[in-house]
Structure 1
Amino acid sequence: MKNIRLIAVVLVTVFGLVSFTNQGPSTKYKCMIQLTNYTGEGAYVAISLINPAGDYEQTLFVQGDDNEWYNTLESWWKFYGKKRNNIDAITGATISGGERSINVIEIEDSKIDAGYSIRFETAVEDQEYYTQDVEFPLTSETVKGKMEGTGFIRYVRMMPN
C-alpha cells in the first residue's frame, strides 16, 4: 500500500512539472491590422510564427471566430487542421473592408533576431486568398514598425505593449 502511494505521488509530481514547464520569457505586442477598402464579407486573418526553415511553428492570433471557415486560410489550415490546438483564447471577430483591428499577440523573446518571421494570411468568402498578405522577418526593428500588405491588408503596425 505504501509503494502504491509513493508511486502515485511521484507520478503526480512528474506530470505536474512537465505540464507547467515555462517556454521562456515573452513579450506582448500590439498589432494593428488596417484592411484595404474592398467590398464583401469580413476577412479571416491568421497570424503565424514561421520558423527559420519556413514552416509554421505557432498560431499567434486568428481574426475570425467561426471555425467553419478556417479552411479558407488554406496554407495555415494544413498546419492547424492536423493538430486542432485550442485557439479560442486567441481569436476575434472578422473585420470588413476599410476597418482596422488592434490585437495583442505574445512572442517568445528567443524568437526575435533568430531567423523567425511573422506571416499574415488572409481570405474573404467568394474572393481571393493571400498566403503571404504580409510576411516579415521577426527582428528587434520590425516588432516596432509598419509593414505594407499585398492583398486585403493595407498595412500592419506592431509595437511592444
Structure 2
Amino acid sequence: MKNCKITDIKIYGNMLGHDYTRRHNEVVRCLHLLLLNRYKFKSSKRIRSHSVQEILDNEYAEIRVDTRIKTDVKIRNNRPEIFILDKKKNKITLIEVGITSQDSLQIVETEKLRKYDLLANELGLIYKCSVEIIPYVMTWDGIVTKYHKSHLKRLEIPMNVEAYIQSILL
C-alpha cells in the first residue's frame, strides 16, 4: 500500500470538491437554459455555449441564480440556487440542486426541501402568491430517491434533459 501524506489527502479532497462543484454547476446550467427557453428569454440553443446570468427579467418571468433575495424580515437562508417568479401563473418556484453520495441522498434531499421554508413563507407574503420549493438531488452516478420523479414532473423537465443531466454526472 502506498504511503499517504497529509498533503496527498488535501489534494485529493480538493479534487473531490472541485469535481462536485463542476457537476453541480453543470446541472444548474442545464436547468437555467431549460427555464430560459420555457419563459421565452433570448438564449443560446446549445448547452455548451450557454452561460448563466444572475438575474433575468421579461414579461413572463424573473429568474435569479444564486442571488440574495431581499425580504422585510432578516432570513439566514435567503440565497436559493434558482428563483423563478412566474408572472403569468403568479407563482414562485425555488429550485435547490444537490449532487451527493448514495449514503447522504435522502438526507440532502430533505435538507434542500426544508432549507428555504422561512424564505418561502416570507416570499408568499411579499408577492402574495404561492411558493414551492423543489429539490433536484441525485448521486454522482445518477441515482435518485423515490420522490425524484414527482419533482421532475413539477419542474416539467423532459426525459431527454434528465438523461443528459445524468450523463454529465457520470
Q: TM-score, normalised by structure 1?
A: 0.35
Higher fraction of helix: 2
Q: Radius of gyration: which is bigger? A: 1
The structure where strand makes up a greater share of residues is: 1
Which protein has greater RCO, CA pairs closer than 8 Å, 6+ apart? Answer: 1
